[in-house]
């Protein structure tokens, strides 16, 4: 039997029906959710994922709060929250330790670098960053692994994420992450420290320790979010760990650069000892684009660049790729 041939009018009608069937749902998805299906800026995050991972940003009906409502909500939250097992006195003791160690750190924000004032230590970095001021939030998982430390080798780690901006030549940023240090830096080699940092407050208030733990085998959920509606003291932000808001404050910007970074340290004259794999994974970004929430992968409009810096103590390794089970980079770092 010969196949039937559609007339020109029939073809036109069928074509219109097909285009209509495809086009209408796509428009509807983009109107109703920042997790729409098509964007020239990157891969949108679905509303269901946002509701699960950022419930603070939505009302009871599942609708996203306005920027003004989010700003007001953050303003009403506690400034500092301690997690299980931590209290104010113990946090102050550990935070003072991190404050003393800060002189060893060099932190890059965009094209600006806050350089360590000490020559007694060596630092190497392994991570990724985006040097564009389009980012107000990051939401992902931090997997520390063992973070092995040795007083005669790799003696200190920070596995952390920043959002920041260079203002008048000064690196300005907030961060949340994990630190671990050896006896050489005054630490307990078996203890991981959950900390936050805000470069805009007085020096003795910048580091806050919220929790300690002893196993790095879990995936720890973290989030940084800056409101786009300014309050009297600046743009309100909140830092989260394991779904809990652990710190709020204000910064003088609402969009900045973003990174996920592993900082390794050794005392001058030593070489790095091996460190097993740590990684970030499944992160999405809150952006100035539309839709505003996008997976951190190679489809972003802005370029992701490697941040891999060695030193005389040695060099870490870096590998980032998108696993088959995720839509975002897994950022792996280690020292062989």
Residue 294 bridge partners (DSSP): 44, 285
pLDDT recorded at residue 108: 66
Whole-model pTM: value is 0.86
Measured distance CA(219)–CA(281) in Å, rounded: 9
pLDDT band of 121, cuts 50, 70, 90 = confident
Domain ranges, ordered by start, for the chain: 43-335
Average pLDDT for the chain: 88
pLDDT tens digits for 312-326? 999 999 999 999 999
The Cα-based distances of 204 to 6, 181, 241, 297, 309 in angstroms read: 78, 20, 22, 37, 29
What is the per-residue pLDDT for 107?
78
pLDDT of residue 122: 92
Residue 98 has pLDDT above 60, yes or no: yes
pLDDT greater than 50 at residue 3: no
Fold observed for domain 43-335:
Jelly Rolls (2.60.120)
pLDDT tens-digit series, residues 273-299? 999 999 999 999 999 999 999 999 999
Residue 285 CA, distance from chain mean position: 8
Res. 77: pLDDT tops 60: yes
Res. 24: pLDDT tops 90: no
Please report which residue ranges of the chain form alpha helices under DSSP H: 8-32, 47-53, 67-75, 88-101
What is the model's pLDDT at position 26? 29
Report whether pLDDT(14) > 80: no
Give me the mean pLDDT over the 184-192 stretch.
95
Q: Residue 16: is its pLDDT beyond 90?
A: no
Q: Note the pLDDT of residue 212.
A: 98
Quick one: how many helices (H) and strands (E) in the chain? 4, 16
């Amino acid at each position: 039997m010969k196949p039937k041939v559609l007339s020109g009018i029939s073809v036109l009608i069928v074509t219109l029906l097909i285009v209509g069937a495809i086009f209408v749902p796509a428009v509807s998805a983009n109107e109703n959710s920042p997790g729409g299906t098509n964007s020239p800026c990157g891969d949108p995050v679905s509303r269901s994922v946002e509701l699960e991972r950022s419930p603070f940003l939505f009302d009871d009906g599942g609708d996203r709060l306005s920027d003004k409502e989010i700003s007001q909500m953050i303003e009403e939250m506690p400034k500092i929250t301690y997690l299980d097992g931590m209290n104010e006195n113990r946090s102050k003791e550990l935070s003072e330790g991190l404050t003393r160690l800060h002189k060893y750190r060099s932190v890059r924000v965009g094209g600006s670098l806050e350089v360590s004032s000490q020559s007694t230590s060596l630092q190497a970095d392994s991570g990724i960053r985006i040097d564009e001021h389009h980012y107000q939030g990051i939401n992902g998982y931090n997997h520390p692994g063992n973070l092995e430390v040795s007083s005669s080798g790799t003696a200190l780690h920070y596995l952390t994420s920043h959002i920041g901006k260079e203002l008048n030549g000064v690196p300005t940023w907030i961060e949340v992450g994990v630190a671990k240090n050896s006896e050489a830096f005054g630490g307990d080699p078996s203890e991981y420290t959950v900390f936050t940092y805000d470069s805009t407050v007085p020096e003795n208030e910048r580091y806050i320790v919220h929790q300690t733990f002893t196993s790095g085998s879990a995936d720890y959920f973290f989030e940084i979010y800056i409101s786009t509606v300014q309050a009297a003291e600046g743009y309100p932000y909140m830092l989260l760990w394991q779904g809990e808001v652990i710190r709020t404050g204000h910064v003088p910007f609402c969009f900045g650069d973003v990174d996920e970074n592993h900082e390794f340290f050794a005392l001058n004259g030593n070489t790095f000892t091996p460190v097993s794999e740590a990684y970030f994974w499944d992160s999405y970004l809150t952006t100035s684009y539309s839709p505003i929430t996008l997976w951190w992968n190679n489809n972003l409009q802005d370029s992701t660049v490697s941040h891999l810096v060695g030193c005389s103590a040695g060099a870490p390794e870096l590998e980032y790729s998108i696993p088959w089970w995720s839509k975002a980079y897994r950022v792996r770092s280690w020292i062989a």
